[in-house]
Amino acid sequence: MAGLSMRRAIRIWVGASTVCGPPRAAAKGWENRVKIAIFGLGYVGFTAACCMSSQGRSVLGIDVNARKVADILAGISPILEPGVDAMLAEGLRCGLIDAACEADARLGDCDMAIVCVGTPSSADGSHDMRYIVQVTEQITRAAGFAARTGR
Ligand SMILES: NC(=O)c1ccc[n+]([C@@H]2O[C@H](COP(=O)([O-])OP(=O)(O)OC[C@H]3O[C@@H](n4cnc5c(N)ncnc54)[C@H](O)[C@@H]3O)[C@@H](O)[C@H]2O)c1
C-alpha cells in the first residue's frame, strides 16, 4: 500500500463493526481532516459511513451495487437502522459523504480504508473470501493509478 499515496500511508481494516452514538460536533485538529474510504455499503459499511460523517469525518463509500450508490447519493438509505437517514442527509449536506462504484484516484486522498464487504459461508462452512479478493484488486488498481498520477 506504500504507493497508494505519496503523502500518506493507508491502513486497511477488514470486517469492522460499529456502534452508533449521538451526533456530536466535528472532530478537532488533525482528526477533522481524516478521510476514510469504506468498501461495501451494507449494514456495517453504510452505518459506519453515517456514524463517521456525523463526527465530522469525510467518507468515500465504494460499493459495486450501482443502485445502492445512486440511492445514497440521492439521500436514500439502503438499510433500515435508527438515525441513519438523518446522518446521511446531514453528511450529504455538509459534503462529508460521497459514494462511488469503483475506487479511483480519490482513494489516494484517503488516510484509511475500511473493508466491509460480505464474507458469506461456503458450502464446506469456510468463509467465502471472493469479495475480499475483489476489493483487494480494486485497491491495487487504484494504488497503481495513484502512484502513476502522483496522488
Ligand atoms: N451485519 C452485521 O451485523 C455484522 C456484524 C459483524 C460482522 N459483520 C461482517 O461485516 C461484513 C459486512 O457485513 P454486512 O452485513 O454489512 O454485509 P452486506 O451484505 O449488508 O453488505 C456488503 C456490501 O458489500 C458490497 N460489495 C460486495 N463486493 C464488493 C466489492 N468488490 N467492492 C465494494 N463493495 C462490494 C455489496 O454490494 C454490499 O452492499 C461481513 O464480513 C460480515 O460478516 C457483519
- Per-residue pLDDT tens digits for 20-59: 334 444 555 555 678 999 999 999 999 999 999 999 999 9
Give the pLDDT confidence of 112-144 residue by residue, as tens digits: 999 999 999 989 999 999 999 999 998 888 877
Domain range list for the chain: 34-119+128-146
Architecture of domain 34-119+128-146: 3-Layer(aba) Sandwich (3.40)
CA-nearest residue, atom 36 of ligand 1: 40
Cβ < 6 Å from ligand 1: which residues?
15, 17, 39-45, 62-65, 68, 116-119, 131, 134-135, 138
Three-class SS of residue 114?
A: strand
pTM of the model: 0.83
The answer for residues whose C-beta is within 8 angstroms of residue 123's C-beta and 6 or more apart is none
String of DSSP letters for 15-67: S---------PPPPGGGGG-EEEEE--SHHHHHHHHHHHHTT-EEEEE-S-HH
